Structure 1
Amino acid sequence: MNQEEFCEVTGLEKVPVYWDRRYTKNLDKLSKPIYTVKLEEDVEVILRDGTKTYVDVYHPAELESAPSLIAYSAYGKKMQRMRHGALPGASNYFDHSLEAGDIDFFVERGYTFIIPDGRGIGRSEGEYLGVYNPQEQEDVYDYVEWAGIDCPWSTEKVALLGYSYFGIIQSLVAALQPPHLVCIMPLSYTDDYYQHGYYGGVADTYMNMYWELCPSNNPTTWTSKMMSEDEMKDLIEEVQKDPDIGMNTYFNKMFNVWPPKYHTFYLDYLLHPQEDDFWRPRSMKYKYDQIKVPVYFKCGWAPQGRWSAPVFNAMNSKELNVYKRCGVMEGYNGMELPYRFMNEEMLRWYDYWMKGVDTGIVDEPPMKLNILGAGYRYENEYPLERTHWKKLYLHTFGNLRWEPVVEGNLAPDSFTHRPPFITTEVEKLTYRTDRFSRPTEFTGPIELHLWASIDSDNANFITKVWQITAGGTRMPVSRTGSLKACYPLDEEKSEIGRPVHDYTKKVPVVPGEIKEYVIEINPIGMVFAPGTAIELEIKAMDNFEPQSGAWQAKMDHLGPIPSVKTINYKIYRDKDHPSYILMPYIPSTPPELWLQPICDDDIVIGGSGKGNTH
């Protein structure tokens, strides 16, 4: 089959690079784009407590009813249909909240597509209580049941879809087991919402963005609903005793509005710096046993944030005892919105579960990975059984080597963190390997074992891993690994490549004490080409790059919230204190695991999937 024949048979515009001819079947039975889209705007939906909300319903005009796909977030429903071409992140018009999906693609193929304005969003009544709050989870349950029972354009089959916010909410709703929910497909995912915002226990301004993304008409903090007014005021005062928080004027604005109506979700975030009952209801790792519908998790190899590790946690969870699969599908080139990259895979998934079309998707091995620099392939487990765990040791003169240091009692490397209110400079240490002489694959989890001392009772460790190209360009491999020094390692729960820390209690560091810190770094799936190298970067805060003439919204891009103290770090790397990165080396891959293209004339950018590393 060539590409022209493929498009004629399937009704699709392109051949997906992630489809395999051995497993993809009944292409002629895939839903075809034969319907026109009709919009029913501001349809009233009454939630279980009587709150009046509004949804937009897109349905095939030629059908009386069709199975429903619900895309839910607090980002606002009307803007999800705005179109001005696919926009990359570099565009000044890029809006990360345009994530509901490709409405026309699915409605034209016989699906009803529903987007709500949830409680307190847009014109809907009620209070908006913040991202993924328990009330919101129950409300989406109600939307599922409304679609399954009362929506005049829907059948009794309902699924959830969408990216980011639209993806993460899906499993939380599925855990409530709405009777009419058939399947879910989270296109991004986290199972530990505390670490999503406090990666390694380090506070981050990442969550700050939700203020501008969620058009709430009545924002309210979740914390204020859980305690009395006096308790809330006392908590606000207590949190400000942390100098890293108390000295920040951006945060001060949130603390000094009463009742708390300004930047409500980020205020909630700051009021809960440790894992507690605010975070647990938003975290799927405590609820896996409650999901009863099939799940397809999707993520990318995340150069920053904690996106891919949770997907593998879910795949390994014995409590999540349903049909499940995952795809780590994209590279590091960023995404375009509206999101269309996974349209064809989503169609196979929803056609199978919602329309009974045997697309072959459940016959594939459970994991489909895009190995950067090599192509797509299947795996059956994670970490891979054939992994050779290799230690990449820190040496003197900024070297990273596979051989351990043989000398003891060596003087440490050091750097000094100075807070951003006295300098824009960020001190750091870097360590680099020799250049690879042949293609070398690392796929799996990474952890850094770092022997260090600090002259404070607490500090942040921020780590990044880079690929140095043959031409000298630094490309991100994993730009985020972080740990707040006060959180102890839970050795009992930790697994190789996957350290676990107890974020419910702080154990102050003894200044000057040399101790080993074990830091999770995002999983990787990459072949390093000959002439490239690996570089490790260690610092205390992220790089702050002031823009000439630009003064607004610096906090949105600060990243990890830095310490306001001047702190000296000493990094030890000798025989007695072997600091190293644990790397998941993959010596070879059976040929049958690599994907085989659908079409003979496929042009696959970024690797054909036919390669192998040895």
Structure 2
Amino acid sequence: MKLKEFKEITGLSKCPVYWDRRYSKDLDKLSKPEYSIKKEADVPVILRDGCKIYCDIYHPAEIDQAPALVAWSAYGKEMQVMRHGSLPSSSNYFDHSLEAGDMEFFVTRGYTFIIPNPRGIGKSEGEFLGIYNPQEQEDCYDTVEWAGTVCKYCNGKVALMGYSYFGIIQALVAALQPPHLVCIMPLSYTDDYYQHGYYGGVANTYMNMYWELCPSNNPVPWTTKMMSEEEMKELICEIQKDPDIAINSYFNKIFNVWPPKYHTFYLDYLLHPQEDDFWRPRSVKYKYDKIKVPIYLKCGWAPSGRWTAPVFNAMNSSELSVYKRCGVMEDYNGLELPYRFMNEEMLRWYDHWMKGIDTGITEEPPIKLNIMGRGYRYEYEYPLARTEYKKLYLHPFGQLRWDPVIDSDLPPDSFTHRPPHITTDVESLVYRTNRFNKPTEFTGPIELHLFAAIDSTDANFICKVWQILQDGSRMPVCRAGYLKACYKLDEEKSLIGRPVHDYTKRYPVTPGQINEYVIEINPIGMVFDPGTSLELEIKAMDNYPPQAGAWQGKMGHLGPIPSSNTINYKIYRDNHYQSYILMPYILSSPDELWLQSVVEDNIVAAGTVSGGTH
């Protein structure tokens, strides 16, 4: 099929690179852009407790009723449909809260599109209690049921849609089992919200952004619902004794507003540094058995944050027993919002479940991966059954080698963390492989086994993996491998490449004692071409580029909250203490697993990988 013919048959402007001609069936029956758009603004929705929220409804003007897509987020409804094209993150107008999806794409194809302002957001009544809180989950349930039973533009079938915030909320709401919910498709996902904010138990300023993104008219911390006023004041005083928190004036401002109305979600975040009953209701891993609708989980290979591992956790969960599939779809070319990359895949998914159109999407193998540097491939399990786990050992002189160190009692490598209130320097240790002499694929989970001693009772480990290109430049593979030293490994729950720690209690480290730290690093799917090499970086804090000429908003660039103390780290790597990074090596892949383009003139990357050709 030629691209021109494809466009005529489907009504789509392009053929997605992630479609396969063996499974993309009945494309002529896909919903086509046949309708104009009509808008109803500020439509009231009455929630179960009488609170009134408002939504905007976009519906096909030429038909009375259609399946409804609900895009739920506290980022505000009006700006979700602003027309300025998709913006890259490099644009000064880039706004990460533009996550509802492409309203025009779906409404013109016969879907009703509903965007609410949640409780306490915009003009909606009530208190905004922070993202993904139990009240918000119930409110989204009520809105789904309102759409399925009251909204005159809906035919009774409702699905949830959207990216990031709009994606994460979906499984939490599905676990409440609203009767009119047909399916969900989280375009971004996390199963463990504590780990999302405190990756490896390390506090982060990532959550700092929500005060800016959520246009709340009545913000209230969820912690006020968990304890009395006196208990909360005592907790605030206790948290401020943490020297890493006490040194920061940005945090001081949050703590010293009463009643607490400033930066309320980040106040909640700082008040709950261990996994507790604040985080568990926001973590769908405790609710998998409650989900009863089909789910399509999507993410990208995540150079930062913890986005990929949760998708695979869900796919491997026996408790999540519904029809499920996942796609790790994007590379590192950069995010553009409003998000449109998955429009065509979403259309196949929603057409199948909402309109009964057999698009072939449920006939595909359950996992679709974008192997960076090669293209898209199907898999049937994760980790891949053909994975050969190989150890890259840390050696003297900053080397990473496949053979272990044979010498004993070697002096350790070391670096010193100095806190950012005395220097902008960030010391690190770097270990690098020789250049690969043939294409070499690593796809799957990664973990770092690090024998280390610190001269403190606690410390942060920040670990990153880089690809060093032929010209010597660095490309991020995984910027995220965090662990706070005080949290213990749970060996019984841990799997290869997927260490599990107990984040409910801190265990102070004995200064100077050599301990083995097992650190989860984000999964990858990448081919290292000849002439490239792999680099491991170990440090105690991040060093995002400073904002040249700017003085405000520094917290957004801080990342992991660093220790306020000077700490010396010693990294051991000899035959007694064999520090290594465990890599998921894939020798080759059967030809039939690689996607076959729907159209003949699509450009598809190809190459030879570790002895196998696709």
The TM-score bracket by the shorter chain reads over 0.9
Which amino acid counterpart does residue 108 of structure 1 have in structure 2? T
Does residue 370 of the first structure (1) align with residue 370 of the second (2)? Answer: yes
Whether the 8 Å CA contact 2:441–2:609 is kept in 1: the answer is no
Distance 1:316 1:417 in 2: 38
Whether the 8 Å CA contact 1:408–1:576 is kept in 2: the answer is yes
Partner of 2:23: 23
1:110-129 correspondence runs (5 A): 110-129=110-129
Distance 2:556 2:252 in 1: 15
Secondary structure at the residue paired with 2:523?
A: strand
Which amino acid counterpart does residue 329 of structure 1 have in structure 2? M
Whether the 8 Å CA contact 1:404–1:578 is kept in 2: the answer is yes
Whether the 8 Å CA contact 2:148–2:155 is kept in 1: the answer is yes
Partner of 1:52: 52
Q: CA deviation at 1:545?
A: 3.4
Residue by residue over 1:286-334, the C-alpha shift from the partner in whole angstroms, topping out at 9 and shown as x without a partner, is: 0000000000000000000000000000000000000000000000111
Which amino acid counterpart does residue 30 of structure 1 have in structure 2? L
Secondary structure at the residue paired with 1:480?
A: coil
Partner of 1:277: 277
Whether the 8 Å CA contact 2:440–2:609 is kept in 1: the answer is no
Partner of 1:380: 380
Partner of 2:201: 201
Distance 1:226 1:326 in 2: 36
Q: CA deviation at 1:81?
A: 0.8
Which amino acid counterpart does residue 463 of structure 2 have in structure 1? T
Whether the 8 Å CA contact 1:426–1:544 is kept in 2: the answer is no
Whether the 8 Å CA contact 1:167–1:186 is kept in 2: the answer is yes
Q: CA deviation at 1:335?
A: 1.3
Q: CA RMSD in A?
A: 0.7
Q: CA deviation at 1:612?
A: 4.1
Residue by residue over 1:240-280, the C-alpha shift from the partner in whole angstroms, topping out at 9 and shown as x without a partner, is: 11100112100000100000000000000000000000000
Secondary structure at the residue paired with 2:489?
A: coil
Structure 2 residue runs of 5 or longer lacking an equivalent are none
Q: TM-score, normalised by structure 1?
A: 0.99
Q: CA deviation at 1:544?
A: 4.5
- The percent of aligned pairs where both chains have the same amino acid is 76
Distance 2:302 2:26 in 1: 33
Distance 1:141 1:611 in 2: 49
Whether the 8 Å CA contact 2:587–2:609 is kept in 1: the answer is no
Which amino acid counterpart does residue 155 of structure 1 have in structure 2? N
Residue by residue over 1:389-413, the C-alpha shift from the partner in whole angstroms, topping out at 9 and shown as x without a partner, is: 0000000000000000000100000
1:330-345 correspondence runs (5 A): 330-345=330-345
Q: CA deviation at 1:343?
A: 0.2
Partner of 2:458: 458
Partner of 1:493: 493
Residue by residue over 1:330-367, the C-alpha shift from the partner in whole angstroms, topping out at 9 and shown as x without a partner, is: 00111111100000000000000000000000000000
Q: CA deviation at 1:549?
A: 2.1
Partner of 1:160: 160
Whether the 8 Å CA contact 1:424–1:545 is kept in 2: the answer is no
Partner of 1:252: 252
Partner of 2:64: 64
Whether the 8 Å CA contact 1:448–1:518 is kept in 2: the answer is yes
1:454-603 correspondence runs (5 A): 454-603=454-603
Partner of 2:108: 108
Which amino acid counterpart does residue 610 of structure 2 have in structure 1? T
Distance 1:341 1:247 in 2: 42
1:339-488 correspondence runs (5 A): 339-488=339-488
Which amino acid counterpart does residue 327 of structure 2 have in structure 1? G
Does residue 236 of the first structure (1) align with residue 219 of the second (2)? Answer: no
Which amino acid counterpart does residue 42 of structure 1 have in structure 2? D
Distance 2:413 2:609 in 1: 38
Secondary structure at the residue paired with 2:146?
A: helix
Partner of 1:147: 147
Does residue 41 of the first structure (1) align with residue 38 of the second (2)? Answer: no
Whether the 8 Å CA contact 2:439–2:608 is kept in 1: the answer is no
Whether the 8 Å CA contact 1:123–1:217 is kept in 2: the answer is yes
Distance 1:547 1:559 in 2: 14
Residue by residue over 1:364-391, the C-alpha shift from the partner in whole angstroms, topping out at 9 and shown as x without a partner, is: 0000000001100000000000000000
Whether the 8 Å CA contact 1:435–1:532 is kept in 2: the answer is yes
Secondary structure at the residue paired with 2:501?
A: coil
Residue by residue over 1:186-231, the C-alpha shift from the partner in whole angstroms, topping out at 9 and shown as x without a partner, is: 0000000000000000000000001100000000000012111100
Secondary structure at the residue paired with 2:24?
A: coil
Partner of 2:225: 225
Q: CA deviation at 1:441?
A: 0.1
Q: CA deviation at 1:548?
A: 3.3
Residue by residue over 1:553-600, the C-alpha shift from the partner in whole angstroms, topping out at 9 and shown as x without a partner, is: 001110000000000000000000000000000001011000000011
Which amino acid counterpart does residue 593 of structure 1 have in structure 2? L
Number of aligned positions between the proteins: 611
Does residue 613 of the first structure (1) align with residue 610 of the second (2)? Answer: yes
Distance 1:567 1:262 in 2: 33
Residue by residue over 1:419-470, the C-alpha shift from the partner in whole angstroms, topping out at 9 and shown as x without a partner, is: 0000000000000000000000000000000000000000000000000000
Structure 1 residue runs of 5 or longer lacking an equivalent are none
Which amino acid counterpart does residue 528 of structure 2 have in structure 1? F
Distance 1:612 1:5 in 2: 33
Secondary structure at the residue paired with 2:488?
A: coil
Q: CA deviation at 1:30?
A: 0.2
Distance 2:545 2:154 in 1: 50
Which amino acid counterpart does residue 488 of structure 2 have in structure 1? P
Which amino acid counterpart does residue 367 of structure 1 have in structure 2? I
Partner of 1:265: 265
Partner of 1:306: 306
Whether the 8 Å CA contact 1:375–1:611 is kept in 2: the answer is no
Q: Which stretch shows the higher mean deviation, 240-249 or 534-543? A: 240-249
Residue by residue over 1:75-130, the C-alpha shift from the partner in whole angstroms, topping out at 9 and shown as x without a partner, is: 00000010211100000000000010000000000000000001000000000000
Partner of 1:315: 315
Distance 1:538 1:118 in 2: 41
Distance 1:377 1:545 in 2: 35
Distance 1:223 1:478 in 2: 33
Following superposition, which runs of at least 4 residues in structure 1 exceed 3 angstroms of deviation?
Answer: 610-613
Does residue 288 of the first structure (1) align with residue 288 of the second (2)? Answer: yes
Distance 2:338 2:548 in 1: 31
